[in-house]
Amino acid sequence: MKFNRMNKKPRGWRMPAAALLCFLFLAACDPKPQGPPPAHPVPQVSTVTVQAEKIMLATELPGRASAFQVAEIRPQVSGLIEKRLFTEGSEVKAGQMLYQIESDLFQAALDNANATLIRAEANLPSMRSRAERYKTLLVDKAVSQQAYDDTVAGLKQLEAEIESWKAQVKTARINLKYTKVTAPISGRIGKSNVTVGAIVTAYQPVALATIQQLDPIYADMPQSTVDLLRLQSRLKDGLLNQEGRDQNKVKLILEDGTLYTEEGILQFSDITVDPSTGSVTLRALFPNPKGIILPGMFIQAKIKEGLDEQAILIPQQGVSRDPKGNPYALIVDGDSKTELRPLTLDRAIGDKWLVSAGLVPGDQLIVEGLLMLRPGTVVNATPFAPTEAGKVPAVDAGAPSEKRSDGGV
C-alpha cells in the first residue's frame, strides 16, 4: 500500500503547541500583585465667616394713594345753572365761587319775607299800647277781663308771627346765598358734570364737580395680620429696637420704580381686619408740593420695623434647598469636615439672606464648591474672594429690606 509521506504531519509538533496553550492559560489565571487604589483629591471649597451686624429692618408694602381731603360739590337749592366760574383741572381756593344758579326767585322770596316782617313789626307798637291801656282800665273795671285777655293773646300772637317771619327772612337769605356755589376746601377741581343751562336739584346724587386736596396726600397700604403678629412678637422678645427719632419715617417708590424724594410719616394702623384679605390698613402722610402723586396711583412703601442689633446676613449662593424646599447650609467644622445646618430664613436683603436660626457668629459657611458635597466630607477650605464682576455688594444697614416670598415680615 502506498501513501503520501508529504501529507503526514510529524507527531512531535502537537506537544509543543499544547504546552504553549497550557502555559498561556496558566499565565492568564495567575493574579498579578496590584498596588493601592488612587486617592481621591480633597474637595476645595470657599467659605465666609458668619458675623452678626446691626441693620435697620424694614418691610415693603404695596398700596394706593388717596387724597387728603375730598369734597363733592352738590347744589343746596334747585334751579338753572347760569355760569360756571372755574377752569377744569385747576387749583381752587376755599370760598371761591364755582357756579351761579339763577337767583331771581330766591331774591323775590327774600323781599317778600322782609316785607311781611316789616308789616308785622309795624303793628307791634299799637298792640303793646292797647295791652298796657287795657291793663290799667282793668283795675278800674273799665274793660272786661275777657277783653284784656284777648288783647294780651293778640300781642303774643303778633310777637310770634314776627319771630316766624324773621326765620323766614333768614331762610330766604340763606337760599339766596346758596345760589352761589362755592368751594368748601382748597385743592384741585376735576371736570364739571353739568354745563350752563342745566337744571339742578338740591342735594342731588350726582356731584357737580369734585375737589381733592393733594398736598399733603395719603398712602394706604394693607399689611397681613400674620406679619403684624410676627412683628409684635419680635418686639416683645426684644429682637427689635424701635427707639429712634426716624422710626415713623416712610419711603415711597413710584410706579416707574423711582424713589420719591419726600419722606412720609406713618400716621396710624387700622384696628379693623378686612375679612376678605386678612389684612389691616397702614396709612402714611406724604408731602406732595409738585402734585407728582395722584389719587389712586399704585405705590410701594418702605416702612421701618426696627433695629436688629444681632442680624446674621449670608450670601444667597450659600443656601441650598432639600427636595421639600426647606433651606439648609453647609459649614466647615473644626475637623475640616462639612456639617449640614437647617436654616430659618427671615427675608432677602439685596443678594443676601437674613437668617433667623441655624447659624451662629463664627461659623464657616461654604459658598463655593457645594456641588456633589455631602455632610462629613473632609474639605480644604479657603476664604471666599469674589471677583469684581461677581462681587457681592455691601448691604446698607439703613436701607429697607425686600418682602420675602414665604410670608415673612
pLDDT digits 0-9 by tens, 92-139? 999 999 999 999 999 999 999 999 999 988 888 888 888 888 888 888
Confidence at residue 8, expressed as pLDDT on a 0 to 100 scale: 47
Residues 174 and 184 in one domain: no
Of the candidates 132, 159, 178, which is a domain's last residue?
Answer: 178
Domain that holds residue 170: 104-178
Of residues 191 and 304, the one with the higher pLDDT is 191
Instruction: Return the pLDDT at 243.
Output: 60
- Kindly state whether residues 230 and 375 are assigned to the same domain: yes
Res. 224 pLDDT band, cuts 50 70 90: confident
- Write down the pLDDT at residue 9: 47
pLDDT (mean) for 49-53: 90
252 plus 298 within the same structural domain? yes
pLDDT value, residue 95: 93
The rounded distance, in Å, linking the Cα atoms of 378 and 334 is 11
In a domain, 226, yes or no: yes
In CATH, what number is assigned to the domain containing residue 199?
2.40.50.100
Task: Report whether pLDDT(27) > 60.
Answer: no
pLDDT of the residue at 235? 64
Q: Is residue 2 part of a domain?
A: no
pLDDT tens, 339-351?
999 999 988 888 8
C-alpha–C-alpha distance, residues 214 and 219, integer Å? 11
359 and 238 in one domain?
yes
Q: Are residues 149 and 197 in the same domain?
A: no
Q: Is residue 11 part of a domain?
A: no
Distance CA 151, CA 167 (A): 25
- The residue among 206, 225, 256 that closes a domain is 206
Same domain, 173 and 194: no
**CA 358, 361, 364, 370 torsion: positive or negative?**
positive
Beta bridge partners of 62: 300
Is the pTM for the entire model greater than 0.85?
no
Whether residue 377 is found in the same domain as residue 335: yes
Mean of pLDDT over the chain: 82
pLDDT for residue 144? 85
State pLDDT tens for residues 233-246. 766 666 555 565 56
pLDDT of residue 36: 60
Higher pLDDT, 191 or 307: 191
> Of residues 401 and 297, which shows the higher confidence score?
297
Lookup result for grid cell 415680615: 409
Q: Kindly state whether residues 171 and 198 are assigned to the same domain.
A: no
- Does the pLDDT at position 186 exceed 80? yes
Strands 264-269 and 338-342: unpaired
Whether 373 is in a domain gets the answer yes
Instruction: Supply the pLDDT for residue 246.
Output: 61
Predicted local confidence at residue 240, as pLDDT: 58
Using CA atoms of 353, 356, 359, 361 in order, give the dihedral in degrees to the nearest 10: 90
Q: What is the pLDDT of residues 323-333, one digit of tens each?
A: 999 999 999 98
- Split at pLDDT 50, 70, 90, the class of 31 is low
Q: Which of 15-24, 108-117, 150-159 has the lowest mean pLDDT?
A: 15-24
Assess whether 143 and 115 both reside in one domain: yes
The percent of residues above 90 in pLDDT, for the chain, comes to 43
- 5 found inside a domain: no
Quickly state the pLDDT bin for 74 (edges 50, 70, 90).
very high
Residue 7 clears pLDDT 70, i.e. is over it: no
Element (H, E) at 150: helix 145-178
Is 133 among the domain residues?
yes
- Asked whether residue 304 carries a pLDDT value surpassing 60, the answer given is yes
Same domain, 224 and 366: yes
Confidence of residue 79 (pLDDT cuts 50, 70, 90): very high
287/334 same-domain check = yes
Average pLDDT over residues 293-313: 87
174 in a domain, yes or no?
yes
Evaluate whether residue 340 is within a structural domain. Answer: yes
Residue pair 218/283 in contact by the 8 Å Cβ criterion: yes
Q: Which CATH number goes with the domain that contains 144?
A: 1.10.287.470
Q: What is the pLDDT of residue 371?
A: 83
CATH number at residue 281: 2.40.30.170
Residues 320 and 249 in one domain: yes
What's the pLDDT at 59?
82
Of 159, 178, 197, which one is at a domain's C-terminal end? 178
Q: What percent of the chain has pLDDT over 70?
A: 81
Report how many domains make up the chain: 3
Q: Is the pLDDT of residue 73 over 70?
A: yes
CA distances from 385 to 43, 99, 363, 389 (A): 17, 72, 17, 12
Asked if 370 and 379 touch (Cβ cutoff 8 Å), the reply is no
pLDDT computed for residue 29 by the predictor = 54
